[in-house]
Amino acid sequence: MLYDFELDKARKSLPRYFRILEGKELPNFIKAKKLKIDFREEMELQELWKIHREAMVRLKKRKEGDGKKNLLELKAVIAEKMMERCELCEFKCGINRKEEMGYCRVKDSKIASYFIHLGEEPELVPSFTVFFSGCNFRCVFCQNWDISQRSVGIFIFPQKMARIIEEAFLNGARNVNFVGGEPTPNLPYILKVLTYLETPIPVIWNSNMYMSLEALELLNGIVDIYLGDFKWSSNSLGRKYSTAPQYWDVITRNFKIVTAHQGAELLIRHLVIPNNLENTRRVLRWIRENLGTQVRVNVMFQYQPYYRASHYPEINRKLNYSEMREVEKMVKKLGFSYALVG
Ligand code: SF4
């Protein structure tokens, strides 16, 4: 019963996603493939961006046009070229990822694991989840630190990964869920995989939302659901616990931008941190004031003091009962229609 109730809330909050699942609409990446254009791979990056911006205008007007290539291929080529001076996230290392790792510890994309995940939000499961290693954050309590803070796993050829996703879809996966670590450093690989994928499977971008503006442009018209983490309510908390400079400025900017992305929907996750209920209140207030009360928000109580949390006594424990009750009341009072709590 509870499951049906939650699904009903999700259906109201993510109507387009459900239309894709019902075969009434195509996922965004397939629409991007249908938009035909011409370009040459050897063109300068600046020229390719110009063609991209013109094509995005056509995508918005739903004009498929003609040409020998398509918008998704163009996005993949631009992302690949961006690796030579990587600015895919706001760390903007500017290094050549074809030769060395960035701050995120990603050079080539390495996949730590993939499987059909049953532990995500009810509307997402079963979710075919691809876990990349490496991350541009250093969250001191990271529960996936064994893959996010190390370069582990294997490179799988994009063609092969596309076949693996197709098989998962045939076996009942509702979506492909790119996570890590963090998917952003792996954007060139992910776009390449999608160029080989023919299955109408929705794409979930399961991310810390620290992408650069350029990466966001490439994601526009590709992602069906941004499954975005929103952890901190200030730049100083973001720096202290996730080592992310200008966290608040970047994340609030990016959440506003993706709400205007072509056909994209939003599911925001907020992890409640012990002794930090004011943080939760400020994050939720910002969401209410800027994204409204109809957005799907998952306010999570699963915090555990993993990784280096023992160096921070104030967060070196699980949530207690009274913190959970207080957050439940807070969410109710703020009036979110489709929130998940717990
Ligand atoms: S994705 Fe990695 S290499 Fe690229 S800018 Fe971010 S941290 Fe640096």
d(Cα 272, Cα 15) in Å, to the nearest integer?
27
Domains identified in the chain, total number: 1
User: Per-residue pLDDT tens for 206-263?
Assistant: 999 999 999 999 999 999 999 999 999 999 999 999 999 999 999 999 999 999 999 9
Of ligand 1's atoms, which has the minimum distance to the CA of residue 136? 7
In this structure, the residues whose C-beta lies within 6 A of any atom of ligand 1 are 86-89, 91-93, 95, 97, 102-104, 106, 136, 184-185
Instruction: Output the CA 217–ligand 1 centroid distance in Å.
Output: 16
Q: Is 70 exceeded by the pLDDT of residue 48?
A: yes
Residue 326: give its domain's CATH number.
Answer: 3.20.20.70
Neighbours of 10 (CB within 10 A): 20
pTM (2 d.p.) = 0.96
Closest ligand 1 atom to 102 CA? 3
Query: 134 preceded by cis ω (within 30°)?
Result: no
3-state secondary structure of 178: strand
Rounded distance from Cα 250 to ligand 1 centre (Å): 15
Mutate to test the pocket of ligand 1, among 91, 214, 218 (most ligand atoms within 8 A of CB): 91
Q: What is the pLDDT of residues 3-27, one digit of tens each?
A: 677 888 899 999 999 999 999 999 9
Q: What range does the domain containing 264 cover?
A: 2-341
Distance from the alpha carbon of residue 186 to the mean position of ligand 1, in angstroms: 9
The residue whose CB lies within 8 Å of the most ligand 1 atoms, and thus the one to mutate among 82, 84, 88, 133, is 88
pLDDT confidence tier of residue 285, bands split at 50, 70 and 90: very high
Looking at the DSSP assignment, which residues form a beta bridge with residue 70?
Answer: 36
